[in-house]
Amino acid sequence: MVFGIPLEIRAHESRVGATPMLVDELTRRGHTVVVETRAGIASGYPDAAYQAVGAIIAPSEEKLYGQAEWVVKIREPKPIEFELIQPHHTVFSFFQFFANLDMTSSMLARGCTCLAYEYLMDEDGRRPFLSLEHRLEAEVAIAQASFYLMTAHGGKGRLLGNIPGAVPCRVTVVGENDAACHAANLALKRGARVRLLYLDEEALNNSETPLDEGVERAPAGEDAYREFFPGTDLLISANTTPTGKTELAIPFEAVEYLKSGTVAVDLDIAMGGSIGTSHRTDHDNPIFLSDNGVIHYCVPHLAGVIPATSSEALSYALLPFLLRIADFGFANVLRDQPGLTNGLVIFEGRITKPELANELGVSIFNIRDTGDSVSNG
């Protein structure tokens, strides 16, 4: 098999699809790995580090896609990459199909196969890549919020820390996915008083990340917002479902209950946002103020700015999946590993997920029909 690791070209996305550790495991099994020049620089891996474990360095993305069969990315392809993708390519990535319907249509038109990290499951039915992304984003969100809570940056002057004699920072988290639970647990460990407001109690109880003892919980809604928001120092909203859909969790009117200097972080902004006053920002201009002085931090894809940690963690999570494919062949793994099959969202230009097919108005392809047609590479 020939695996390709391209340079990510999206702004502020500095991660690399595979570290030298993962490349070494593949080349030692006799597979070819092609790495685009400088793909790993921001994560701390120069071209020489890949060459030392047997990788071939491609001088351009055209050369890389021209050689690769399996393309291991981080983020969904940009339009400039569409023409490089051919029917024989299988692309691994975070795709976020529902937020990128034009990209999804382009992948269908290319006739390629797409394995989406957000859908991949392990043998226990958990989504290790989605959980990892949520945890990394929660870590960055807490770090950034701590910065903007300082008065020098317009905040209330509260510290996310357990300081004797000081009133604890009051953190409200709205949502029940992994990102919400991670953020709540992290804030609690920092010494904050944390309350999580859930929209779906069953989803909260089924979360892969259990809430730590000490995190208060209550149902979300107008009454809760009126009661709890005035005393909130930091608000975090995380409501995106595993399928990639986001609903408005905090209406525009509820933001009025927050006081000036409160920091509001919308962790759903990549999928459109779940706070009524949110709009997308970036790392060059990360915040804006609402009319009542609430500091909004609405930067998407936060894990991209900690590429060393993120790339290492992602490669560690990806290792067992890629090695199964490399050792046993794609067709065999699809038959024997339902978690990998769950990640197969597009197969040779056909949609396998009913919700996504309905969104695009196309017919669904039964993934069980892949058995006789999938090549083992």
pLDDT digits (tens, 9 = 90+) for 42-95: 999 999 999 999 999 999 999 999 999 999 999 999 999 999 999 999 999 999
C-alpha to C-alpha distance for 11 and 355, rounded to whole angstroms: 30
pLDDT in tens, 244-301: 778 889 999 999 999 999 999 999 999 899 999 999 999 999 999 999 999 999 999 9
Least confident among 149-153, 191-195, 206-210: 206-210
Give the whole-number percent of the chain exceeding pLDDT 90.
83
Per-residue pLDDT at 206: 87
Band of residue 336 on the pLDDT scale cut at 50, 70, 90: confident
pLDDT for residue 377 is more than 70:
no
Per-residue pLDDT at 99: 86
Per-residue pLDDT at 208: 85
Band of residue 374 on the pLDDT scale cut at 50, 70, 90: low
Band of residue 161 on the pLDDT scale cut at 50, 70, 90: confident
C-alpha to C-alpha distance for 183 and 148, rounded to whole angstroms: 16
Per-residue pLDDT at 117: 95
First and final CA of the chain: distance in angstroms?
6
The structural domains of the chain, ordered by start, are 2-126+305-370 (3.40.50.720), 133-297 (3.40.50.720)
Residue type, 35: V
Region of 272 (left: φ > 0; alpha: ψ -120 to 50; beta: rest) is left
